[in-house]
Amino acid sequence: MEEKKFEKYVKKLEFKDRDPSHYRQVATINGKEFDVDFNIKYGAYWAAGRMAEGTIEAHKHDYNQILFFLGADPYDMGELNADIELCMGEGEELEKLRVVNTSAVAIPAGLAHYPSTITTMKKRFLYMEISQSNQLKKEIVPMDKETYKNTRPRVQCRYANHMTMAAFVRKSTMYGPHNMDDHGGSLAFIQNHVQDPSIFEYLIMCENIKQAPYRFGWDPYNPHAHKRPEILIFMGTDLNDLNNLGGTAEIYLGKKSEMERYVIDSPTAVIIPGGLAHNPLTITRVDRPFLLTDVRPYGMEMKVGSM
Q: Between 3.40.640.10, 3.40.50.300, 2.60.120.10, 1.10.3720.10, what CATH number should domain 14-165 receive?
A: 2.60.120.10
Distance separating alpha carbons of residues 99 and 101, to the nearest angstrom:
6
Q: Is 177 helix (H, G, I), strand (E, B) or coil?
A: coil
Same fold for the pair 14-165 and 169-306: yes
The confidence score (pLDDT) of residue 2 equals: 67
**pLDDT tens, 139-163?**
999 888 888 889 998 888 889 999 9
- Return the closest-CA partner of residue 98 out of 82, 88, 119, 84: 84
pTM of the model: 0.94
Contacts of 45 (CB under 8 A, 6+ apart): 22, 23, 24, 51, 82, 118, 121, 124, 125, 126, 127
71-121 pLDDT per residue, tens: 999 999 999 999 999 999 998 899 999 999 999 999 999 999 999 999 999
User: Would you kindly state where each structural domain of the chain is located, as residue ranges?
Assistant: 14-165, 169-306
CATH of 169-306, one of 2.40.50.140, 2.60.40.10, 2.60.120.10, 2.70.98.10: 2.60.120.10
> Is residue 19 pLDDT above 70, yes or no?
no
Mean pLDDT (the chain) is 92
Considering Cα of 216, then 221, then 223, then 224, what sign does the dihedral take? negative
- Alpha-carbon distance of 94 to 88, in angstroms, equals 6
